[in-house]
Copies of this chain bind each other. A is one copy, B any other.
Amino acid sequence: MESIKIFELSKEYLESLRDAIEIEDNNFIKESLDGANEADIAALLDEFNMEEALYVLRLLDNEVAADILIELDEDSLIKVVKEMEPSELALYIDQMDSDDGVDILNLFSVREREDIISYLQEKEKSAHILDLLRYDEDSAGGLMAKEFIKANQNWNVIQTIEEIRRQAEKVEKIYSIYVVDNKQHLLGRVSLKKIILASSDTKIADIYDPELISVPTHMDEEEVAEIMRKYDLESIPVVNAKNKLVGRITVDDILDVIREQSEEDMQAMTGISSDVEESDSIFKISKARLPWLLIGVIGGLMGSQIIDIFEEGLQKYVTLAAFIPLVAATGGNVGIQSSSLVVQTLASKSVFDDTPWQRFIKGFLIALLNGLVLGLFVFLVVVFIMGNEKIFGLTIGFSMFCVVLMASFMGTVTPLILDKFGINPAIASGPFITTANDLFGLAIYFGIAMWLLNL
């Protein structure tokens, strides 16, 4: 295993490769990349501009280049494939699994797709791809590949091994062999282990395992991911409405789905409105960040109008202003905590979830407890450490208590409502809830102050 390790990428190597491209030292490029993992080469090409990346790809075998294309960052991928002629791109897609080919074709318009597909050499592949293009990208159908091994229940072990041999080139990882009847209905699975251990003339019908979880083509990819995680599956068959076997999803695709999902949630929660990375351009990042910042600013300006209403009272009791940040911050923090717990529960949907009522009552009790602790703490500090009047301490402490209750309610309800309308509830944990809580919190705070302090 001497020669085999994770390919060591370094800035130095990156530079030397760049120089080699510059002077067209093709031997250096080919030799130094030989045997490297495609995912590592892709990470390297992600750092290059389009011309450099394309130069390297064209030097390599079509099969290797195809594997690298699959692993590229979406930004790099788009740049590179948009530059290729349809005929050239078709050469690479011919080498890919159907699902990966479809992912690339989805970057093009319908007309361009047809053009590229017309150049595909393998007729089976183009049939597969045309079939897969019909499915929504985020569904099980959009995630599945057409490359897998299936065996008819009437075959014996020898016939099945022959099928494996026939498909060996096309199906890199087999996992399970799916068993179907004459009409292609999915009956079950048989593992390679069983095939190896069975005698040659054993009938598949006698050894296959009918206990098999499959998913329909229309299932959302995130639901597929949760099923594969829950049941510890490394591949799952996809069936159409008539229970005919039409594809297979493998766990490597699921790992990508889960990663994208958690990045999406994080961005939604932190008020970044589109999928950006630190390496994107300044304008792209600014543009993704400004919408939510503007909404926050408009919320803040509305807050100033609320405070304006109470300006007279504030004139008389200017110390009230000093506790505005306390009220606002607590409302924000409580709201985010509440919503994140709800979002977490929504993500791992269970049929045994509490009913909305149970959830509200529980959330209310938690808020009551936290509100009492925080309210009392603030009262004590404001009166005994800062030396304010008791009635003023009561104003601040009671406001805290009410704000905790309000923010907790908002933080629980908002994600539930968003989820009902099919909007990613993680948005509710971000600037949205914070802005709303700021406004309600201010109104509560000044309302209580006017009342208790007789302003």
Give me the interface of A with B, judged by CB distance under 8 Å.
Answer: 1, 3-6, 9-11, 14, 35, 37, 39, 43, 46-47, 161, 164-165, 168, 173-175, 185-188, 191-193, 195-197, 210-214, 227-234, 243, 250-252, 254-256, 258-259, 262-263, 265-267, 269-272, 276-279, 282-283, 285-286, 289-290, 292-294, 296-297, 299-301, 303-305, 307-308, 311, 314-315, 318-330, 332-334, 336-337, 339-345, 350-352, 354, 359, 362, 365-366, 369-370, 373-374, 377-378, 381-382, 386, 400, 429-431, 434-435, 438, 442
Contact = CB atoms under 8 A, between A and B. Distances in A.
Given A269-B340, A271-B336, 5 more contacts: A4-B213, A168-B197, A174-B191, A293-B374, A297-B330
A273 to B, nearest CB: 10
- The 8 lowest CB-CB distance pairs between A and B, nearest first, are A300-B326, A321-B321, A270-B340, A232-B252, A304-B322, A303-B325, A262-B262, A307-B322
A366 B165 CA distance: 56
A175 B4 CA distance: 20
Copies in the complex: 2
A441 B270 CA distance: 19
A323 B337 contact: no
B197 A164 contact: yes
Nearest to A270: B340
Among A47, A210, A282, A319, the one with the most B-chain Cβ atoms within 10 Å of its Cβ is: A282
Nearest to A304: B322
Contacts of A272: 337, 340-341
A373 B164 CA distance: 62
Contacts of A231: 37, 39
A292 B3 CA distance: 50
Contacts of A314: 318, 321
Given A174-B193, A271-B333, A323-B304, A3 B429 contact: no
Contacts of A341: 272, 276-278, 285
7 contacts: A1-B243, A192-B192, A278-B341, A279-B354, A282-B366, A301-B386, A329-B332
**Which of A3, A39, A214, A293 has the most chain B CB within a 10 Å cutoff?**
A293
A385 B365 CA distance: 43
A70 to B, nearest CB: 9
A334 B210 contact: no
Contacts of A191: 173-174
Nearest to A266: B340
Residue of A4, A47, A161 contacting most chain B CB atoms (<10 Å) = A4
Contact of A373 (B228, B290, B323): B290
A192 B174 contact: yes
A311 B319 contact: yes
Contacts of A322: 303-305, 307-308, 311
Nearest to A6: B213
Contact of A266 (B269, B303, B359, B386): B269
A213 B267 CA distance: 32
Contacts of A307: 321-322, 324-325
A297 B429 CA distance: 19
A329 B299 contact: yes
B270 A429 contact: yes
Contacts of A318: 311, 314-315, 318, 321
Contact of A47 (B39, B266, B327, B352): B352
A333 B227 contact: no
